[in-house]
Chains A and B, each alone.
Chain A
């Protein structure tokens, strides 16, 4: 093989350029493989109850941040709560899609009232709503409360009022609901769980 001095330099220079380019990153990259990062690693986990039907499945609500004061929490994932005896981690399609209900532009986030005779819903504040409900309840109770029956026996009944309690309540809120309503003399109340 007869290599000229010039030819030898050319080959050396080509080799030098090639390896330099490779070191500078112009080489095919190594095929890195990594699963997508687990997105709940440091999210805040909050136990909650699905608001849809009367089954009241337990849910785990995940929000961004660790509740530090400058981080605004935002719910970004919801899944079933394995510790809840009702659903043991499973959810139906509506429950599995809860996240999109939380952020839905159509979600009702404040109280509204439709006055008698009106066909429009009017936005009111929570204070107005509570006052209004209390006012109606008191007026009705004052007008219709039965303290004694025909035989003169004390019964303390309020028969013209009914109450539908949440099925998403655990024992403690259930006990409180019972106490408050029986204290008022209400007879007819039920929970959504029996619908």
Chain B
């Protein structure tokens, strides 16, 4: 298709092959949790760029604001206080779409073209094609997409695909004043993360590491964690995220079988109609029945 400015790798509920010849750079956002001060500039920049303004909420005694992701909050700082190595640690994780290489949302989506994966790794929702079924929420191992109460369509972080398509960094990454959010080629981000992890190890965080879970084929949003052995410390970041087996079975094995059965039924009915014709009641039988009714 000539309309696209980013090459498409996969589309939801579409069986036609996507073009695969051009090799585009795989991008990634790297969130260095150890450098984050929780200022929420990323949250502000995200809603400013994407023209979304969540409702002004109430303070419930924690720094998380709003309390959860919603259709107008695509990224959210989640604050956790834990005791590790006998010290209080304040862990701040920027939550949002991970842009999985094997996206559960896309796999679960029944609406053609509502979820798109670009060849650079971005997984994007196209609300015009969304039917509001919410299967993407079931399919997501990170619990990210949210249905809007306004238009009953699913929304989530687009990794600022409109900015990336013209060669810019996502709004959150650009704004981050401490440089905790970096953006670039995935290869470069992995390389940068290695240096950060070495530094953290020197500072006594022996289990520092990169969070790029292979259960979903790796992600295009990665974290540098001080405690990579315990990702659940960081506001329940899943240890080994995977697409739910129900979705995998339903959309993997069952779907083609069901389609086959549906097709066979349709063709069978057509043949039956052509060969046998409709079930007709003869005049004589009808008269006989009427006679019986009259009694």
Contacts and interface: CB of A to CB of B under 8 A. Distances in A.
Nearest to B114: A31
Interface of B: 1, 3-6, 8, 11-14, 39-45, 48-49, 53, 112-113, 116, 118, 124, 126, 129, 158, 161-163, 165-166, 171, 174-177, 179, 274-275, 277
Contacts of A3: 274-275
Contacts of B118: 35
Nearest to A33: B116
Nearest to B169: A89
B45 A96 contact: yes
21 contacts: A1-B275, A3-B274, A31-B11, A31-B112, A33-B11, A34-B4, A35-B6, A35-B158, A36-B162, A77-B48, A77-B49, A79-B174, A80-B174, A89-B174, A90-B177, A91-B177, A92-B177, A93-B40, A93-B44, A96-B171, A100-B53
Contacts of B275: 1-3
Contacts of B126: 33
A35 B45 CA distance: 19
Chain A interface category by residue count: 20 to 34
Contacts of A77: 48-49
B246 to A, nearest CB: 24
Most buried by B among A1, A4, A37, A93: A93
Contacts of B175: 79-80, 90-91, 95-96
A87 to B, nearest CB: 7
A21 interface: no
A97 interface: yes
A7 B12 CA distance: 40
Contacts of B48: 77-79, 96-97, 99-100
